[in-house]
Chains A and B, each alone.
Chain A
Amino acid sequence: MAKLVKTKVEVEGEVSEEYALVQEPLTTPWDVEEELKVVGKPVPRVDGEERASGAAHYPSDIRLPGMLHAKFLRSPYPHARVRRIDTSRAEQLPGVRAVMSKDNAPATPWNNKRPIFDDVARFAGDEVAAVAADTLTIARQALRLIQVDYEPLPFVLDPEAALHDDAPKIYPDGNLLDGEPTKYERGDVELALAEADVVVEGTFETPTQVHNSLETHGSVVTWEGDQVVVYDSTQNVFGVRDCVARWLGLDRNRVRVVKQFMGGGFGSKLGTGKYTVAAALLAKRTGRPIRFFLDRTEENIAAGHRHATRQYLRVGAKRDGTLLAIDLRSYTALGAYSAWGAAVGGPARELYNCANVRTYEYNVFTNIGPQSAFRAPGYVEGMFGLEILMDELAGQLGMDPLELRIKNYAARSPLNNLPYSSNGLLDTYEEGARAIGWDKRQQLDRTGTRRRGIGMASQIWGGAGAPPSYARVQVQSDASVTVITGTQDIGTGTKTILAQITAEELGVPLDKIRVEIGDSEWGLYSILSGGSMTAATVGPAVREAAADAKGQLINLAAQFLQVRPSTLTLNDGVIRGVKRRRPIEKRLAEILGELGDIMVIGNGSRAPNPDGVAIRTFGAQFVEVEVDIETGAVRVIKVVASHDCGRILNPLTTSSQIEGGVLQGMGYALMEQQIVDPKTGVVVNPNLENYFIPTMLDVPEIQVHMIDRADPNINNLGAKGVGEPPIIPTAPAIVNAVYDAIGIRFRSIPLTRDRVLDALERQQTSDIRQQTGVSG
């Protein structure tokens, strides 16, 4: 009998209470010490051959007969009124099949309650119209024939400037999301700062980081009978299904969303795209399949990014290093549409044991493209300021930076005083320090023109997973197994771990198992793939379904063999037991084969998370860098990434995720930034030529250290998520290592050569001044 429960759900740092319908669980967590057969092993991906052979079909590869190509017309101005739009010449171009603009699009509200094509453009790149044509070339030509009468308006790019009374208003009721900052306060921060022996403060700035997933955002939409089918590069097939159903006024079972493979998302593909809805509307209008994919420029200006921040941070401590107060005021540049700001104050609120904490987060609309979730949104930005200032505090106190962190370790969650379900933070410190040679860092060479240094930073994040998630394990009469659930693999290896979990629980070989995900048509709901939730959400449901199927198989075999079920086991696809003191051994396939076309169907759902504990992932990264003081180049030599995410389901794919997170964090620290021209409001580097991401030649040695200890107090796997944690500490660890190398404390990234050279020059000038006694 299914039960209705209320459960806490955390997505991308935001916690909410939700209902979930769950069954009485059949499984209990595997023993912490238990050596499992398949789970925890470095199993190569079950869909590896498709990826390596070019056979994998990505949404952008879909070609359908009669398919049209669609493009958006985008505003050249960062802020403008769209007074009049004339599409008649475009419509007359041969090969153009439909043009959609504010004059003929449905009025259904899109983001921020504005229509899909509004009469105001709010960033350079905002969608003004859409065209569907026989070829991409014709669609592009048609865009040039649309005449728009724009009235340019004043615009604002800086989030703090956008709060001034005389700033251009992007929305009638002002530029501050919700009209006030998100406020959090515990204790008395002002009093604690006044009483502190040492107070350090700083202003930190982080850049706009673009996901630049290699596959751009896009969909192919077609009608099949009374159902609309959407092939979408999405992290959320059910979210897209529901949104398209709403827009077209269809029941959810009339919309099918398919995503077998996708070329990256990193959080930017959690929502439904305007291109998807536009493609669905155009497909309806033209009766033809529509392919609507963004190009690389559009991907950079209009498909989401990590918002830039400015953070004013103060930290007060006692002489012995005890933290007394943390005070953060942060401003995030949301862009023109995003209706949420990421939790920049998260690390300040929960990383350390500190009685007095205040965070005011101002999420501000600005005239650039909308921000979206980007791998650990908010925590990446917030950890940057906090962990650099912690190092500075250690310096002021004459303490080892690691000692300072250990001293302020929070044994219970500072947010609610609950104990953690498990917490390996101290282990990750110890492990990381040992692996990098933390105690020997004084011996590094800092004399020549290439100076070495070591730094570190901590990590905290969610990753608990949550209901609802449903799974089915079907056993066919040849004993092959199909696992069906509604999640999607965004590149992490989801299919593989689900196959491993099934093999382990059911007792059948891995190569007999096929996992079907990424298709809303299977109907088994599962939450979006974000917030490091997939493994810990879907995995437990699949294990439940496998346990259900196994129970039925044993029962069935017992009836067939005329023995008691309790005497039978199922392992490696073989039923074993005892009958009248004689051992029986029979392949499952043999038994089922004699029963005709029967089928065993096991169902499972994700049980709620336990009450009374805080569930978090923890980690620390230690970095060695080399700074060339002649060229300003910062080179990362080595990264030790030490993380505690509970039980590791597959060390091979887990280490891939950790390495990937580290490299994106390294890009953030050293080279990535979207640049907007302050005069025109236009992005000047909307491509991979001028927006730099790490290449093979930038890659340091990365040592992955997984604590790999099952958390007995969470779900039936003992596993937490790992997708986002590894990007969180990288940037501050690099900046702290640079300080160790050259004695300069950077408060803004990326550490481009010009920035480093400037700082070195200023350092030299002030050295000379100090030596010669000149002040000022």
Chain B
Amino acid sequence: MPETPIYGPGRVPVKLVVNGQTHLLNLLPSETLAEVLRGELGLTGTKVVCGMGDCGACTVWLGSKPVYSCLQLAIDCQSQPITTIEGLKRNGELHPVQQAFIADDAFQCGYCTSGQVMSMAALLERNPDPDEEAIRSAVAGNLCRCGAYPKIVRAGKRAAEMLRVSKEREAPGE
């Protein structure tokens, strides 16, 4: 696998690490990360709604940063691990953000949910104690046509609380 990607012409070898698993693929340089995740890898939890950076439904993590996977070429995503909604479980348990989304009914049709969850979880990973404004702006780039927004805010708060409690349990007296 070469260090710097070859940009074609035609299909080129691409190595992606997705949810901890390495995939060796032959891709067209024009293929987006979203297309590859959904089409090649069958990870259809990531949705494509607009394909042009307007909606956030395709949000995944590149390293620890949430990105719109419809705007990333897969070939450019070889240097960092990728996490999708399917890879958010820890030890077989749903991520606290996922649990909170269920408890607070932070979805209706659910089509925006993967993106919302990835954005919210990314916030909590870097800021475990967010105020309401931080919660809102974390998902400001994630459209929800069903209008689940009020419940998404609630779920964000609940998830932060859950994370805080579990951290305290891990490190008592700190």
Q: Say whether B150 contacts A699, CB under 8 Å.
A: yes
Q: Are A51 and B143 in contact (CB under 8 A)?
A: no
Partner-binding segment picked from B72-80, B94-102, B166-174: B94-102
Contact partner of B51 (CB less than 8 A), chosen from A48, A52, A296, A493, is A296
Residues of B within 8 A of A656 (CB): 105, 108, 146, 148, 151
Smallest CB separation, A660 vs chain B (Å): 3
Q: In the bound complex, what is the Cα–Cα distance between A383 and B62 (angstroms)?
A: 47
CB distance from A674 to the nearest CB of B (A): 15
Please tell me if the beta carbons of B145 and A213 are within 8 angstroms of each other in the complex: yes
Whether A659 and B109, one on each chain, are in contact in the complex, defined by CB atoms closer than 8 angstroms, is no
In the bound complex, CA of A653 to CA of B103 (Å): 11
Tell me which residues across on chain A come within 8 A of B55, comparing CB atoms.
Answer: 214, 688
Distance, CA A87 to CA B105, complexed state (A): 50
Query: Complex: how many Å from CA A52 to CA B98?
Result: 5
Most buried by A among B45, B51, B101: B45
**CA–CA, A76 to B155, complex, Å?**
45
Given A58-B111, A261-B110, A296-B51, A652-B105 contact (CB < 8 Å): yes
Whole-angstrom distance from the CB of A375 to the nearest CB of chain B? 11
Whether B49 lies near A264 (C-beta < 8 A) is: no
B143-A214 in contact (CB<8A) = yes
Please measure, in the bound complex, the distance between the C-alpha atom of A50 and the C-alpha atom of B38, giving whole angstroms: 17
Q: Is the CB of A663 within 8 A of B50?
A: no
The answer to whether the Cβ of A295 comes within 8 Å of any Cβ in the partner chain is yes
Q: Which of B85, B117, B149 contacts A696 (CB 8 A)?
A: B149
Does A29 sit at the interface, judged by CB under 8 A?
no
Q: A44 near B: Cβ within 8 Å?
A: yes
B137 pairs with A697, CB closer than 8 A = yes
A687 at the interface (CB under 8 A from B): yes
Residues in A neighbouring B44, C-beta threshold 8 A: 54, 57-58, 61, 63
Instruction: Mark each residue of chain A from 246 to 266: 1 if its CB lies under 8 Å from any CB of chain B, else 0.
Output: 000000000000000111101
Known A-B contacts A696-B136, A697-B137; the reply to A214 vs B145 at CB < 8 A is yes
The answer to the question of A694 belonging to the interface, with a C-beta cut-off of 8 Å to chain B, is yes
In the bound complex, how far is the Cα of B5 from the Cα of A338, in angstroms?
A: 51
Tell whether, in the assembled complex, residue B94 and residue A52 are in contact, meaning their CB atoms are under 8 Å apart: yes
A236 within 8 A of B: no
**In chain A between 645 and 668, which residues have their CB closer than 8 angstroms to a CB of chain B?**
652-653, 655-657, 659-664
Query: B69 at the A/B interface (Cβ < 8 Å)?
Result: no
Q: How far is the CA of A211 from the CA of B42 in the complex (A)?
A: 28
Inter-chain contact A693/B151, CB cutoff 8 Å: no
Q: Binary interface profile of B, 70-96, with partner A (CB < 8 Å = 1, else 0)?
A: 000000000000001110110000100
Q: How many residues of B sit at the interface, in one of the four size bands?
A: 35 or more
From A45, A54, A266, contact of B45 by CB (8 A): A54
* Interface residue tally for chain A (C-beta within 8 Å): 53
Decide if B136 touches A48 in the complex (CB within 8 Å): no
Contact with B along A660-694 (1 / 0, CB 8 A): 11111000000000000000000000011100011
Assembled-state Cα–Cα distance A697/B137 (Å): 7
Q: Which residue of B lies closest to A264 (CB)?
A: B109
CB-defined contacts of A491 to chain B, threshold 8 Å: 107-110, 146
Q: Which DSSP category, helix, strand, loop or mixed, fits chain A's interface?
A: loop
Return the chain A residue nearest B84 by Cβ. A54
A134 contacts across to B, CB distance below 8 A: none
Q: What CA separation (Å) do A660 and B49 show in the bound complex?
A: 19
Contacts of B52 in A (CB 8 A): 296, 687, 689
Instruction: Assess whether A562 is interfacial by the CB under 8 Å rule.
Output: no
A63 touches B42 (CB 8 A): yes
Q: How far is the CB of B164 from chain A (nearest CB, A)?
A: 20
Bound CA–CA A213/B109 (angstroms): 9
> Does B113 touch A at the CB level, under 8 Å?
yes
Considering the chains assembled together, what is the distance between the CA atoms of A689 and B143 in angstroms?
11
C-alpha spacing A657/B148, complex, angstroms: 8
Residue of A213, A263, A653 near B110 (CB, 8 A) is A263
CB distance B147 to A44 under 8 Å? Answer: no
Task: Return A47 CB to nearest CB of chain B, in Å.
Answer: 9
**CB pair B143 A693 closer than 8 Å:** yes
Q: Is A702 an interface residue (CB 8 A)?
A: yes
- Point out the residue from A48, A63, A212 that lies within 8 Å of B145, measured CB to CB: A212
Nearest-Cβ distance from residue B170 to partner chain A, whole angstroms: 23
Given contacts A51-B110, A214-B47, A296-B51, contact A693 B103 (CB under 8 A): no
Which residues does chain B contribute within 8 Å of A693, judged by CB atoms?
143, 145
Residues in B whose Cβ lies below 8 Å from that of A702? 150
B100-126 contacts to A (CB < 8 Å): 101-103, 105, 107-114, 117
Kindly state whether residue A490 has any CB partner on chain B within 8 Å: yes
Q: How far is the CA of A54 from the CA of B55 in the complex (A)?
A: 17
A775 within 8 A of B: no
Expressed in whole angstroms, the Cα–Cα distance for A707 and B30 within the complex equals: 55
Q: Is the C-beta of A350 less than 8 angstroms from some C-beta in chain B?
A: no
Q: Does B18 count as interface, using CB distance less than 8 angstroms?
A: no
The complex places the Cα of A63 from the Cα of B153 at a distance, in Å, of 34
Q: Judging by beta carbons under 8 Å apart, are B103 and A44 in contact?
A: yes
Residue in contact with A44 in the complex, picked from B43, B105, B140, CB distance below 8 Å: B105
Check if B9 is an interface residue, CB within 8 A of chain A.
no
Give the distance to chain B from A209, nearest Cβ to Cβ, in Å. 12
What residue of chain B has the Cβ atom nearest to residue A656's Cβ?
A: B105
Q: Which residues of A contact B47 (CB under 8 A)?
A: 58, 60, 214-215, 263
* Least Cβ–Cβ distance between B148 and chain A, in angstroms: 6
The yes or no answer to A55 lying at the interface (CB within 8 A) is yes
- CB of A243 closer than 8 Å to a CB of B: no
Asked whether A54 lies within 8 Å of B85 as measured between CB atoms, the reply is yes
Whether a CB of chain B sits under 8 angstroms from the CB of A566 is no
- Is the C-beta of B32 less than 8 angstroms from some C-beta in chain A? no
Instruction: Indicate if A758 sits at the interface (CB-CB under 8 A).
Output: no
Q: Is residue B39 within 8 Å, beta carbon to beta carbon, of the partner chain?
A: yes
B14 near A: Cβ within 8 Å?
Answer: no
Interface pair B109/A261, CB less than 8 Å apart? yes
Expressed in whole angstroms, the Cα–Cα distance for A385 and B98 within the complex equals 42
A197-213 toward B: CB 8 Å interface, digit per residue (1/0)?
A: 00000000000000111
Given contacts A491-B108, A663-B149, A696-B152, contact A61 B38 (CB under 8 A): yes
Which residues on the A side are within 8 Å of B110 (C-beta)? 50-52, 56, 261, 263, 491
Select the residue from A51, A266, A653, A662 with max chain B CB neighbours within 10 A: A51
| A56 cross-chain contacts in B, Cβ below 8 A | 45, 110
Chain B residues closer than 8 Å to A694, beta-carbon distance: 147, 149
Tell me whether A492 is interfacial, beta carbon within 8 Å.
yes
Does A695 sit within 8 A of B, measured CB to CB?
Answer: yes
Quick check: B103 and A214 within 8 Å, CB to CB? no
> In the complex, which residues 34-70 of chain A have their Cβ closer than 8 Å to any Cβ of chain B?
44-45, 48-58, 60-61, 63
A selection of 11 A-B contacts at a CB cut-off of 8 Å is A44-B102, A48-B102, A52-B98, A54-B86, A214-B47, A264-B111, A296-B49, A660-B108, A687-B50, A696-B139, A696-B152
14 further contact pairs, Cβ within 8 A, besides A261-B110, A491-B110: A52-B117, A54-B85, A61-B38, A63-B42, A214-B57, A214-B112, A214-B144, A215-B49, A264-B146, A296-B50, A664-B145, A688-B50, A688-B143, A696-B144
Contacts from A to B (Cβ < 8 Å): 44-45, 48-58, 60-61, 63, 211-215, 261-264, 266, 295-296, 490-493, 652-653, 655-657, 659-664, 687-689, 693-697, 699, 702
Query: Could you list which residues of chain B lie within 8 angstroms of chain A, going by C-beta atoms?
Result: 38-39, 42-47, 49-52, 54-55, 57, 84-86, 88-89, 94, 98-99, 101-103, 105, 107-114, 117, 136-137, 139-140, 142-153
